[in-house]
Structure 1
Amino acid sequence: MSIDTFIPESVFRVVENGDILRRSRGLHPRAQALKSLADVEAAAETSGLLLENAYRKHQQNLDRVDRARQALMLAEITHPQICPPPIPFVATAAKDDKKPSPQPAQDLQVIKTHPAQPDLLEGLARITRTNLRYDTKSAGMLTMACGRNISWIAAASYTDAMHQLFGGAPVVVRGFFDDKDRLFITLIRAASREEWDVPDAGQEHLMLLGQDTVAVAARIRKGLLDLYGPTCQECGAAVSKSSAAALQDEDRLRLVCHPCKAQRKATAGRAEKAVA
């Protein structure tokens, strides 16, 4: 009689791409983090099904061995337990390890909250320092209306488009704290005199700056990229929509990277100080 047995199957494993909980907290936008979590959940479900099938086939193999021994009049044997019967997975309560936002003073108000996302905060502040951190990110320090200093980070293209508000003007900042206790600025606008009673608040030329300003800057960058290609006209480095900037060079606009524009501004600032 045939006692052919099944070939064992390999258990499906998800590609290990880092701790999922850490990635879910740190990645932005959250769509990528959620996709990683969904991949792991699908892998766990698939491996569970394969384990169940493998255990069932293992039991069938043992039954075939027993029937073959009985047909040959051999004594019964006790099979060692290779694997225990599968136990249904019961999820435990997820530990809420969300890092508390550094908010000792009532200078940032929560305007939006979500269980799976950082709180969206808003408050009055002045940007006191702005540095180019990466080709696509700017970072620096801001001082809240109460005097508290907070480090911040934002998209370099956004900082470039709204540069007048990043020069110490009274502003309203909106954003969320990342895992390094930095306020990721998602929106900045000029503060009115009604919001902040300081002499330089409510300036008309600053109040006109908004999302339309950002959209116009983006169209200008896109036009320069279409015209000159994805290359900085200063250093020759490759640029993209997020790392490109427009530089006014006498009577024409040039396509440059953010580091070159920052260097040109710093050089111009030193020249003005020397003349003064």
Structure 2
Amino acid sequence: MAQPAAPDSVLARPAAPADTDAGGTATILVIDDEPAARDLLCRTLTEAGLYPVAAAGGEEGLALARTLHPAAIVLDVIMPRMDGWSVLRRLKRDPGLADIPVVLATMVDQRRMGLALGAADYLTKPIPREHLIAALRRHLPPSAGRRILVVEDDEPTRRSLSAALREAGFVTFEAEHGGVALERLDAVRPDAIVLDLLMPEMDGFQFAAALRERPDAETIPVIVLTAKDLSREERERLRGSVEAILQKGAGGRQALVAEVRHVLARAPGGGPHG
């Protein structure tokens, strides 16, 4: 999030297209009249790799929903002028907005009523971070907000791979070799890693082995993307350390995106971030 939410401020890039921000990250509309609650929700969503847009009231929220058509809406119930129930009813009566999943996040424990009115989920404050993110993930595309660390020494290739993943809705981070990738693990907290093998400083073989020695990172799925024709010994060396091995050029960037989605679908909670 770029800055704390002021009472009538909107945290959004004006040119953001429907469903995602300019970088491909899922846009989540937060409608809450309390600045502190709004700020906390936005910060939580940002940390999860999602793109929060904040509205301080119902009318403002409805206007933003029509403009942005966000991937999901997090909605408070108790608000002045127009409460969350009224906002939810209007959203579900509008053919252009009715398909947007709405997660109610409120102090009021009226789950049955919320679901009857069309809410996708109902959470009672205070809401643990993992409960909010899990509720949203149930209603978002698998790629939305997932963090992918691309480890590749060739800059044009690295940028191209990152761009393809961002276009698919992933959030990407880059490292030019294994040593840099290890240093960035704590800050990035990736859900998956795309790894080249032939790199200076620390190559992909060394990185994969070092990764599995870290208790905080041993479950992060690794997808190898290499131009090298691997020998039987090299494949054996990678066994148990990587989830998939792809050849560069085979299937293009679409094949990589498909494999990343496949790996994350098999292990939806994989990685420290998920």
Task: Please indicate, yes or no, whether the TM-score normalized by the shorter chain is above 0.5.
Answer: no
Structure with greater contact order relative to length (CA < 8 Å, sep ≥ 6): 2
Give TM class, smaller chain: under 0.3
TM-score, normalised with respect to structure 2: 0.22
Q: Give the number of the structure whose alpha-carbon radius of gyration is greater.
A: 1
TM-score, normalised with respect to structure 1: 0.22
Greater share of strand: 1
